[in-house]
A and B are shown apart, each in its own frame.
Chain A
């Protein structure tokens, strides 16, 4: 009989701690499959963040760092510069990457560090209990904006993929989603491409993955999936924002 589905050796067999309905597990799975299918597992070093995915180092079946809040790109920079032959990725949430670690992510991308970032955007702080994130949608409720995000008070949510794509330095930048099987299959293709750019030594890779948080959104997984589609996707448009070949060779390259 032909085997059509199996465990990936890119992940350990440990059950994850994520809430029911959360798509971190799906995104882990996709990253693990990509690492395994590209034959990179034995030369990969991952960097886990602070936040919901703080224990990611237990789930990825490769050498792993645990970094402090927001500094995963700096840790990855040190690791990749010291050992250029290894494949390095950071796995970060929105509080970690877009708030406390904004400087580290922007500067690592701008230096053109040759590692790959998986940025999971669920528009809220999950681990700390549902506070406002830099990515929280306008009028979306969170425990630190109980009346909903007031953009006149705290500004609009930050579009990280676009922000990073605006940098002149060559990079692969994309936004995908994880709320449906179709979106997840597409996410895998894009994440694979990001790793391939690293394997080729071409450029930094940044893949933003829109994700759901049923627990802190106060919605069922199905409602969360619809909310992501209706509320997040129009504000956070999916697609490849930037490829390294698009600006290669030209002093006037566009983004």
Chain B
């Protein structure tokens, strides 16, 4: 299939349809509103269901209801909206239901702003909502990758019966890039297996429930969820390295769009004979700690670059275990560090003056 020029948010909506998801429940919020807008038009064309919920709280509970009856379902939102969805996400994780959530991040905390940010890294990977559970979180760095990862997200959600989040900054949602979709318009329906509530005709009744009044049983449920997280961590780590073939003067770590900006900075420095490698985690949960450590072993110094105040930095430090000095460069508030900003910060880390 040939490439089409599409806005990130619209491409995300189309990707869900190509993945066989024709059920969407969501609520408008900048900078992701084009997803519900696109799907409001597109889903009826493919026999799907689009509902604009009264709030993100309701939207997250609607996807809980839809996933519980065994259909593929998507919601999308942006930072403050994801906070409101936290309630539903915790229940969905507890009930082991497959859903895909897209977070097109804006600046925070609070109402924050509407410009691009990576300020929800910790919320997505460490503390999405109450209770012991882990999301799978994938961070695209281009519109094409957003499409590919949304499709992958549905596959992982169903494979592990776990909520999967695709997380991108506002730029991913708002920028236009050429993208290629898989040909299949609607995949095979989700297999309701032995868990979905479809009416109990010819079988015993089923309950989708997250209440465990017996402490021992709840403990066992938590152990089961943790075991699943371990299985996911063993099988589903994804990452990209750039200019990491030999040894390098410095290793830059970045995720999402920020990594793309870092690549250009690395190219500029390479022309001057300064060798900088890049490690980009694609799955920020599970985080590819050991692979990052391997990339760190080939350099003396690390620089973590983010569009926040240093959220992934904690994971980079964990990977390094104190073996390498780790610097940080970040801008929040919707400021996107430019290539020259990154170049200047890399020089600073290396103790080199500019041209």
A interface with B by C-beta (< 8 Å): 41-45, 47, 54-55, 57-58, 61-68, 71, 74-83, 85-87, 103-104, 106-107, 111
Contacts and interface: CB of A to CB of B under 8 A. Distances in A.
Interface stretch (B32-40, B65-73, B109-117, B135-143): B65-73
Contact of B69 (A45, A54, A104): A45
Interface string B186-209: 000000000001111110011111
A78 B63 CA distance: 6
Given A81-B49, A82-B66, A82-B69, A63 B200 contact: yes
Given A45-B198, A74-B53, 18 more contacts: A42-B200, A42-B201, A58-B207, A62-B205, A63-B206, A64-B205, A64-B209, A65-B207, A65-B209, A67-B64, A77-B58, A78-B61, A80-B65, A81-B25, A83-B70, A85-B199, A86-B199, A107-B53
Nearest to A111: B51
A80 B64 CA distance: 12
Contacts of A64: 197, 205-209
B58 A68 contact: no
Nearest to B67: A78
Q: Looking at B23, B25, B61, B69, which has the most chain A CB atoms within 10 Å of its CB?
A: B61
A107 B59 CA distance: 12
A78 B25 contact: yes
The secondary structure that dominates the B interface is mixed
A71 B152 CA distance: 29
B57 interface: yes
Contact of B64 (A42, A61, A75, A103): A75
A77 B91 contact: no
Contacts of A111: 51
Nearest to A79: B65
Interface of B: 23, 25, 49, 51, 53-55, 57-59, 61-71, 73, 87-88, 91, 197-202, 205-211
A63 B61 contact: no
Contact of B199 (A63, A75, A103): A63
B201 A43 contact: yes
A79 B53 contact: no
B207 A74 contact: no
A77 B199 contact: no
Contacts of A106: 54
Contact of A82 (B71, B201, B207, B211): B71
A75 B66 CA distance: 7
Contacts of B210: 66
7 contacts: A58-B207, A71-B58, A77-B25, A78-B66, A81-B25, A82-B49, A82-B73
Contacts of B70: 82-83
A43 B68 CA distance: 14
Contacts of A43: 199, 201
Given A82-B23, A83-B198, A77 B62 contact: yes
A76 B63 CA distance: 10
A65 B54 contact: no
Given A45-B69, A79-B68, A74 B198 contact: no
Contacts of B198: 45, 63, 83, 86
A111 B52 CA distance: 10
B198 to A, nearest CB: 7
A62 B206 CA distance: 7
Given A76-B65, A82-B73, A83-B69, A45 B197 contact: yes
A250 B51 CA distance: 26
Nearest to A86: B199
B200 A68 contact: no
Nearest to A83: B69
Contacts of B201: 42-43
A44 B69 CA distance: 11
Contacts of A62: 199-200, 205
Contacts of A87: 199
B207 A57 contact: yes
A106 B54 CA distance: 10
Contacts of A85: 199
Nearest to B64: A75
Nearest to B211: A66
A62 B202 CA distance: 12
A42 B207 CA distance: 14
Given A63-B206, A86-B69, A78 B64 contact: yes
A68 B61 contact: yes
Contact of A71 (B61, B199, B206): B61
Contacts of A68: 61, 87-88, 91
Contacts of A77: 25, 51, 58, 62, 65
B68 A65 contact: yes
B54 A107 contact: yes
A38 B139 CA distance: 50
Q: Looking at B62, B64, B66, which has the most chain A CB atoms within 10 Å of its CB?
A: B62
A57 B206 CA distance: 9
Nearest to A66: B209
B88 A79 contact: no
Nearest to A103: B54
A75 B68 contact: yes
A65 B200 contact: no
Contacts of A54: 211
Contacts of A74: 53, 57-59, 61-62, 64-65
Contacts of A76: 65
Contacts of B199: 42-45, 62-63, 85-87
